Amino acid sequence: MKIEIGREFPDYFQPAYPEEFELFSHLETASAIPQALFAITTWKDNGLPNVCFHAWSCFYGDKTAFFAVLGGLYQHTHTYRNLQKRRGFCLNFLPLSAYDRLVETIHKNGDDTDEFAAGGFSPERARTVDAPYIAESFLVLECSFLEARDLSGAGVNALVTGRVERVLVEESYAAGREKRCGKEGFMLLVPGAQNLLTGEPTQSAIATLKVERLD
């Protein structure tokens, strides 16, 4: 038997924090789909570097181009404004050991804050777009801004699409998947899976990859 959760908010769902279901759809906590974690980096209006720790995204392409599709980007943020004004941004993938430093950039994100310094990161300038990137990243995507769409029309967040112009890979990760899978590789956000029987919340989790078989 399957438990059905529809678009109407279930009255028995309890938030993990007061504003949770003002920010997120209850369908996200019902499905709890793991997604890659990374940092979006841009320049602020005053020239200081900005960091946005993010997930809710996918990456795909064809023989003509490779795209980064960023979901759930709040329209009130520096990042949303910056990437449209500068027409470029970088996506930075760091290992689990950088998690606490990335969270620090969430707490220290004022207009006059150098968020690279707040997280203890080293800035580098992208070559193909007007954006900084984090030198400590094992993978960087330099992206040009293509479009932003407010899918819900609520003015809360947007779906941003960028075209990947250049990929940078740390040499020690370049030989294959080994370092990219495991504690030195990709981080994934596992949203707090709602208990669909009781409605009780659970904590979000951070995961790494483990290869179980080859395809």
Domain range spanning residue 125? 37-178
In three-state secondary structure terms, 164 is: strand
Q: Please state the domain count of the chain.
A: 1
> What integer pLDDT is reported at residue 190 of this predicted model?
97
Q: What is the pLDDT of residue 59?
A: 98
Q: Is residue 150 part of a domain?
A: yes
Q: What is the pLDDT of residues 23-75, one digit of tens each?
A: 999 999 999 999 999 999 999 999 999 999 999 999 999 999 999 999 999 99
Q: Which two tokens stand for residue 71?
A: 């979901």
Any idea what the CATH number is for the domain that residue 95 is in?
2.30.110.10
Beta-carbon contacts of 172 under 8 Å, excluding residues fewer than 6 positions away, are 138, 179
User: Residue 156 domain-assigned?
Assistant: yes
Span 131-190, pLDDT tens digits: 999 999 999 999 999 999 999 999 999 999 999 999 999 999 999 999 999 999 999 999
Q: Does residue 211 lie within any of the structural domains?
A: no
Question: How far apart are alpha carbons 181 and 211 in whole angstroms?
Answer: 7
Residue 210 lies in a domain: no
Cα–Cα distance, 173 to 161 (Å, whole number) = 26
Kindly state whether residue 22 falls inside one of the protein's structural domains. Answer: no
pLDDT (average), residues 100-107: 98
189 part of a folded domain? no
Q: Does residue 138 sit within a domain? A: yes
Rounded Cα–Cα distance for residues 31 and 7 (Å): 13
